[in-house]
Every structure is written in C-alpha cells, then in structure tokens.
Amino acid sequence: MARIIKSPDVRTNELIDCAQRLFFERGYENTTVNDVIREAGLSKGAFYHYFASKEALLEALAARMARLSLDEMRPLLEDPSLDAVGRLNALFANSRRMKVDMAPQLKNTFNALFKPENIVLYHRIDEALIAVTLPFMTEILRRGQEEGSLDAPDPEAMALMLLNLRLGVAKVMYRALQQAEAGDVESAAAMLDGWMQSYGLAVERILKLPEGSIQVTEPGFARAFLAA
C-alpha cells in the first residue's frame, strides 16, 4: 500500500471518526480492526502505533463524545442569570432541541447504542458521559441547596441518581423508536410523552420542587422526534 503520512492528530481523529461510524452502524463487536483500518486507509501496524488495542479506540471515542457533550452544556452552567432550577430546565431544553435538530443521527445512535450486542459500546460511552456530567450536576444541586431553590441534602448522591434515571429515559426512547419504526408512531409518541412526564415528575419530587417547575418535555415533542 502507498505510504501516506499525516500528522498524528489528524490520523487519530480519522480513526475515531471511522470507529464512530462503523461501531454505530454494525456494533462494536461486529466491527473488526481490519474494517477500521480498511476504511481509514492505513495499515495494521500504523493502527497499533496509535492505539494499544481495539478497546483503547473505543475508550478514545467515548472520551471524545463526553468532551463534546461537555462543551455543549458548559455555557448553560456558566450563565449567571440562571438559578439551579433554571439551569436544570435549560439542560433539558437543550437536550430536547438537540434531539429534534439531530433526530436522524440521534435515532441512528439510539438504535445502535441499545442493540443488545452493543452493550459494551453503550456502557463505555455512558460511563464517560457520567464522569463528565456528574461534577456539573452536583455543582448545580449544591448551589440550588444553597439558594434554597431546591432540596438536595447530599448533592452528589442526588446528582448521580438523577443521571441514573436518565438511563431509563434513553431505554424508553429506544423502545418508542422501535415501535415507531414498526409503524405505530402515534402510540409510541403517547408512551414516550407519558414516560417523560413521569421522569419530570420524579425529578421534581426528588428535589422537592413544586409540580410543574421542571419541563423535560413539551407538547408534541415526542411525535416530532419520532416522526422526523
């Protein structure tokens, strides 16, 4: 094969790009290192020059996704005009906006991430995401507790619990997607809406907020997402 030399930075990112596409398309287990290097156009040796193992590539992908997601939400968290509840709502609104804007890719992602054979992929990404998100969520709750706008005696524990709940939402979203793909968009949307309302309710209750102060969903969101 022709010898092509690129800067390590470019190569690394190209490899992660390929990994992202292939892992999400076929699943982590069903993607071989040979697939990746064929796609990225470099040799086995070169690949192992950059990554110690196939797992290390996955790790790097998870880390990059976590970093991007952090960049996405950092502004919200630094905005001084918001109180804790406002920040939480901003987070939800942001994730909602992203879900509708990027529905096609995101649907793809969810579909890939929750395939039974893709647990490893999912778990690594989730882990990285939680590691990056937890400190921020904790800080929000801590300040909220300080302000008195919510009640979280142990902010870190509560934050981790909120993040663990999010997993449930993702699972249900996947189920709704499957159902919608099977043609039953309306009832899938109804289920998803109902579930997200319950999620919002749970968040409010955990933080002892008045009902209605947290907006995880908005009218028509589920349908818009599923129909996109």
The set of long-range contacts for 103-106, using a CB threshold of 8 Å and a minimum separation of 24, is 103/224, 103/225, 103/228, 104/228
> Of 11, 96, 99, 124, which lies in the binding site for DNA, with binding defined by CB under 7 A?
11
Distance separating alpha carbons of residues 83 and 76, to the nearest angstrom:
11
> Of 41, 75, 135, 168, which lies in the binding site for a copy of itself, with binding defined by CB under 8 A?
168
Q: How many amino acids of this chain bind DNA (CB under 7 A)?
A: 25
3-state secondary structure of 200: helix
Sign of the CA dihedral running 74, 135, 151, 218: positive
Question: Rule CB under 7 A: is residue 105 a binding residue for DNA?
Answer: no
Question: Rule CB under 7 A: is residue 21 a binding residue for DNA?
Answer: no
For residue 154, the 8-state DSSP code is S
Question: Rule CB under 7 A: is residue 32 a binding residue for DNA?
Answer: yes
38 binds, among a copy of itself, DNA, none (CB under 5 to 8 A by kind): none
Question: Rule CB under 8 A: is residue 68 a binding residue for a copy of itself?
Answer: no
Binders of DNA in range 38-77 (CB under 7 A): 41-46, 48-50, 52-55
Q: How many amino acids of this chain bind a copy of itself (CB under 8 A)?
A: 25
Distance separating alpha carbons of residues 141 and 153, to the nearest angstrom:
9
227 binds, among DNA, a copy of itself, none (CB under 5 to 8 A by kind): none
Min dist CB 43 to DNA, Å, is: 3
Query: What count of other Cβ atoms lies within 10 Å of the Cβ of residue 18?
Result: 21
The set of long-range contacts for 107-111, using a CB threshold of 8 Å and a minimum separation of 24, is 107/177, 107/228, 108/24, 109/24, 110/170, 110/173, 110/174, 110/177, 111/174, 111/177, 111/178
Binding mask 113-142 for a copy of itself (x = CB under 8 A): ------xx--xx------------------
> Rule CB under 8 A: which residues touch a copy of itself?
119-120, 123-124, 153-154, 157-158, 160-161, 164-165, 167-168, 172, 194-195, 197-199, 201-202, 205-206, 208
